[in-house]
Chains A and B, each alone.
Chain A
């Protein structure tokens, strides 16, 4: 158990809809990262927050947004969903800012857009 909790585990929704994925980081970790894994793809970095502030952005679409709350949990909002957004979405956390400290991943949310 990594200590990172993601909810829900599975989500099935229709195109055009909006969903929110939730992540609780490991106790003591201040950084939260979101990754997307599509079929046969590696993990694509989306966005990082550190102690409530956006720290880095990767390949995140404008239809997607995220935030980290004062209690350090994070939410990833996906809107105007398209079929291609179907993927596994992973949240990870680490103690500090630098990515050369190992990330601890949750078990992911599998999003299916129909």
Chain B
């Protein structure tokens, strides 16, 4: 049973436009969400995170939005650049059993930004 779902395996966007990557989760105990970016032949790299007490977090061209009632988060990249072409993983963790649980990852969305 997938607790973190990225329903779009791939996304293609024109350079300069907005990229929106979506992620849904099922576990209401999740209270911390992260996005990782992965280039081929490299490990995932931390991009941006958001705590459940917030609904938005911004870092340069990257903004993450959290809708707790819908159990949905999204990553916006504006403007998109060819160098953003990578696989993006959504991840979540929750505090239960007296400690912060380990990260649960989605399957990833492959973003292609075309010049």
Contacts and interface: CB of A to CB of B under 8 A. Distances in A.
Interface in A45-78: 45, 48, 56, 58
A103 B103 contact: yes
Interface string A80-98: 0000000000101000011
B45 A2 contact: yes
Nearest to B51: A100
Interface in B56-105: 89, 91, 93, 99-105
B88 to A, nearest CB: 11
B53 interface: no
Contacts of B41: 107
Interface residues of A, number: 26
Decide if the interface of chain B is mainly helix, strand, loop or mixed. strand
Contacts of B31: 100
A68 to B, nearest CB: 15
B42 interface: yes
B92 to A, nearest CB: 10
A98 B99 CA distance: 7
A8 interface: no
Contacts of A92: 43
Contacts of A17: none
B1 to A, nearest CB: 12
Contacts of A11: none
B44 A105 contact: yes
A100 B100 contact: yes
Which of A33, A42, A102 neighbours the largest number of chain B CB atoms within 10 Å of its CB? A42
Contact of B42 (A98, A102, A107): A107
Closest 9 pairs between A and B when the two form their complex, measured CB to CB: A105-B43, A102-B46, A98-B100, A43-B105, A42-B107, A100-B32, A42-B105, A99-B93, A105-B44
Interface of A: 2, 4, 33, 35, 40-45, 48, 56, 58, 90, 92, 97-100, 102-108
